[in-house]
């Protein structure tokens, strides 16, 4: 599906609760296939580009935090429970 020239897609924002209690903020634009996740106030976000998880993150599905890509990123902040 092609977008009309000049059409703007509205960004989508979702929040999740990490197993440590921190807020994980996700923001992205579905039509561009990009989502950025931030753990608390971290300086190193996770960018998902044309990843199958993009739609699940933007839908706010909590189970997406158990996916290997996101779990590996979260292990950079703390150990899993």
14-48 pLDDT, tens digit per residue, is 999 998 889 999 999 888 889 999 998 888 899 99
| Number of folded domains that form the chain | 1
Banded pLDDT at 67 (limits 50, 70, 90)? very high
Banded pLDDT at 7 (limits 50, 70, 90)? low
Instruction: Give the chain's radius of gyration (CA, Å).
Output: 13
Q: Token pair for residue 18?
A: 């990490």
Banded pLDDT at 13 (limits 50, 70, 90)? very high
| Domain range enclosing 60 | 12-74
The reply to whether 2 falls in a domain is no
The reply to whether 64 falls in a domain is yes
Contact 69, 53 (CB under 8 A): yes
pTM over 0.75? The answer is yes
């Amino acid at each position: 599906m092609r977008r009309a020239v000049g059409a703007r897609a509205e960004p989508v924002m979702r929040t999740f609760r990490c197993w440590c209690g921190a807020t994980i903020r996700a923001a992205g634009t579905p039509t561009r296939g990009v989502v950025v996740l931030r753990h608390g106030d971290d300086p190193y976000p996770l960018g998902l580009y044309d990843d199958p998880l993009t739609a699940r993150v933007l839908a706010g599905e909590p189970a997406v935090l158990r996916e290997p890509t996101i779990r590996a990123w979260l292990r950079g902040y703390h150990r899993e429970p």
